[in-house]
Amino acid sequence: MEVVVNQQDKRSWVEIDLEQIIRNYEIYKSKLPEGTDVMLVTKADAYGHGDVRVALKLQELGVHMFAVSNIDEAVSLREAGVDGEILILGYTSPLHAKILYEQDLTQAIASEEYASALVRRNLPIKCQFAIDTGMNRIGIDGDNPEECSIIVHRYSKRLKINGIFTHLCVADTDEDENVEFTLGQMRKFKAVASLVKDMNLPYVHCCNSAAGLTYLPKYFDEFEHIGRIVRLGIMLYGLKPDYSNILPEGIHPALTWKTCITCVKKLHKGESVGYGRTFVADHEMYLATIPTGYADGYDRHLSNCGHVIIHGKSAPIVGRICMDQLMADVTDIPEAAMGDVVILLGKSGDVEYNADDMAQQLGTIGYEVLCNISKRVQRFYI
Ligand SMILES: *Cc1c(COP(=O)(O)O)cnc(C)c1O
């Protein structure tokens, strides 16, 4: 069933194609070695796609593990009816121990100090130890697997330890140095996993989207027992971990960001546009004013260099992006008129400009572009 979004009454909105998310999930999963399970990463509102909607849809397909960044995200999934494993990857104050326990959430443990603080709350909270294998962000020291094993065993007497995990920091590019580093991380993690094998931990995982596709199939024999669960984030949403990656056939962005034309005006030669008068017309031109700005999450660095899509054609942004509006050159799109749909991220005809393309222009990653689309941009599901 297709839900038609009425485009007449909107200002700036996002359309999320849940069927595309499902296709991405199924295609991704089909590339994994048999027996590999997926933990869905829905942190940051599912990278801007709406965590509850995405999680519930995938739960219908049998997904039973979710990863979020904080306790608020975790509780909101739980309250919406997500009943599987919910792992909080980021920091939760030990003062919230009771909520962790009552909502049956699983907390990542960043350090021994944190584990001790949780133990003092005196509740059998479900936890997974982060193992630091080289990213130097969170985790106990994976350079010393025996010590890791002692710590994990020791805390399992007071907390309900149900897993260990590590995070790979250069699994998304194929330079020799990065491959070497990633394999090194995986070997360290495997060493820890081997030493805690007696605990029969159900959740032992190290792969993100990129590693699940590139490392698991290739090195599965060596890493089988640490590779049974992949934490799938960005590729579920149809974007690339790194711009150089080639996504499997059929995986596409699920999000389209649309807005409309407020008005079209004629600009005479010599007139300027916007704050700071950074653009001056050197010939007569037509401008479309568009009701989306940096408060909607449209990055101001795209002033005078980004573009939008109108009637399947590219329209360059001119002048500085304002808080709530921006202006684009529609001199070559004479049919542009008030109320017409403008695509900020997405595809129209043969022209595509997605979050990865915008990120490339901004010197960032698609993840950040997606997360920055602000809450006042309404989400619609098609
Ligand atoms: C965000 C995150 C992921 C997902 O990474 P993607 O590159 O989006 O697949 C996996 N694991 C951890 C610990 C993360 O923080």
For the chain, helix, strand, coil in percent to 5 are 35, 25, 40
User: How far apart are the C-alpha atoms of 209 and 262, rounded to whole Å?
Assistant: 39
User: How far apart are the C-alpha atoms of 330 and 313, rounded to whole Å?
Assistant: 9
The residue type found at 301 is H
Please list the ranges in the chain whose pLDDT falls under 50.
Answer: 1
* Start-to-end CA span in the chain (Å): 9
Minimum CA distance residue for ligand 1 atom 6: 233
User: Which of 43, 51, 167 is the best mutation target for the ligand 1 pocket, counting ligand atoms within 8 Å of the beta carbon and taking the most?
Assistant: 167
Looking at residue 2, its pLDDT comes to 53
The residue type found at 59 is Q
Alpha carbon 159 to chain centroid, angstroms:
30
Spatial contact of 306 and 358, defined as CB atoms under 8 Å apart = yes
The rounded Å distance from CA 90 to ligand 1 centre is 11
Spatial contact of 162 and 173, defined as CB atoms under 8 Å apart = no
Looking at residue 5, its pLDDT comes to 80
Ligand 1 atom nearest residue 208's Cα: 9
Looking at residue 3, its pLDDT comes to 62
Looking at residue 1, its pLDDT comes to 47
Backbone angles phi, psi at 324, to 5 degrees: -125, 0
Give, in order, the Cα–Cα distances in Å from 174 to each of 50, 74, 75, 78, 215.
31, 34, 37, 38, 10
User: How far apart are the C-alpha atoms of 33 and 165, rounded to whole Å?
Assistant: 19
Looking at residue 315, its pLDDT comes to 98
The residue type found at 63 is V
Q: Give the pair of three-digit tokens for residue 64.
A: 């039973």
- Name residues whose C-beta falls within 8 Å of residue 99's C-beta, 6 or more positions apart in sequence: 71, 75, 105
The rounded Å distance from CA 104 to ligand 1 centre is 22
Report the candidate in 376, 378, 371 with the shortest Cα–Cα distance to residue 299.
Answer: 371
The rounded Å distance from CA 208 to ligand 1 centre is 5
